[in-house]
Amino acid sequence: MKEISAWEKVKLARLPERPKALDYINEIFDDFIELHGDRLFGDDKSIVGGIATIKIDNKDVAVTVIGEQKGKKAKENMERNFGMPNPEGYRKSIRLMKQAEKFKRPIITFIDTPGAYPGIGAEERGQGEAIAKSMMEMSTLGVPIIAIVIGEGSSGGALAICVGDRIAMLENSVYSILSPEGFASILYKDSSKASDAAENMKITAKDLKELKIIDKIICEPEGGAQKDLKQVAQNIKDYITSQISELIELDTKELLNNRYDKFRKM
């Protein structure tokens, strides 16, 4: 695929027709059962999660799958809060991840969010604490974790479910501390300079691979993942199965030490 600018990749990552977490979950995994609620406040539809199986070496392996879910149409985006999780979304994720640890299931997360929801209600219910706790819990879970950025991975909303033993990005996804518009507003005092900010922020898969923040770039067809969902899903599945096969061979102590070392080096 020909190289395109960072800003063009931002626009591709945000396309409404770009495949979302559930598109990949339904293509990659078998027998997906969605689980709901954080057992504290409610069910956040901007994060989906549940139990599924994936075939590895002709065996069905049970996994826990969690993904940030945007909508493709206006109505669905409203229902999914435009992929911006509230605290109960992260608390649902934590609940499912702790369950995965209890039953020795590997965890796969799909990241696609413009950021955690910044509303008053979210702050009142502990948005910052929920994000921090999610990252803390993921750092000590005794099962393999594979995180994949499939679209827009921005701010703490993305970081909250991206503490993995392996982190991969689709070729046209982006991963950053905040949006280029937000960066431009702070640094240049002008949000219209978002395209310049995107170039300087080093947010593309290629940039982050060179900086050793991520482990793998997963290929997309020219024009984006929406051009061939099945092929991109297969590319993701191949990566997931290869990495689970490696990670399940490690004992818990080695797995956790490697994870600690990985993030200490960032």
Q: List, for residues 138-151, the tens digit of each pLDDT value.
A: 999 999 999 999 99
* Reported confidence tier of residue 1, pLDDT bands at 50, 70, 90: low
Residue 135: the pLDDT is 97
- Report the pLDDT averaged over residues 203-226: 95
Give the chain's end-to-end CA distance (angstroms, integer). 28
Residue 90: the pLDDT is 97
Residue 2: the pLDDT is 66
DSSP, res 245: H
**Residue 265 confidence (pLDDT) above 80:** yes
The answer for 212, left when phi > 0, alpha when psi is -120 to 50, beta otherwise, is: left
Residue 57: the pLDDT is 87
pLDDT digits (tens, 9 = 90+) for 57-112: 889 999 999 999 999 999 999 999 999 999 999 999 999 999 999 999 999 999 99
Percent of the chain at pLDDT above 70? Answer: 99
**Residue 248 confidence (pLDDT) above 60:** yes
Spatial separation of the C-alpha atoms in residues 45 and 238, rounded to whole Å: 28
DSSP, res 73: S
Q: Indicate the average pLDDT of the chain.
A: 95
Residue 191: the pLDDT is 86
**Rounded to 5°, angle at Cα 186 from 185 and 189:** 55
Q: Looking up tokens 């994000």, which residue turns up?
A: 131
Domain covering 6-258, topology:
2-enoyl-CoA Hydratase; Chain A, domain 1 (3.90.226)
Contacts of residue 102, Cβ cutoff 8 Å, sequence gap at least 6? none
Percent of the chain at pLDDT above 90? Answer: 93
Q: Are strands 59-68 and 47-56 parallel, antiparallel or unpaired?
A: antiparallel
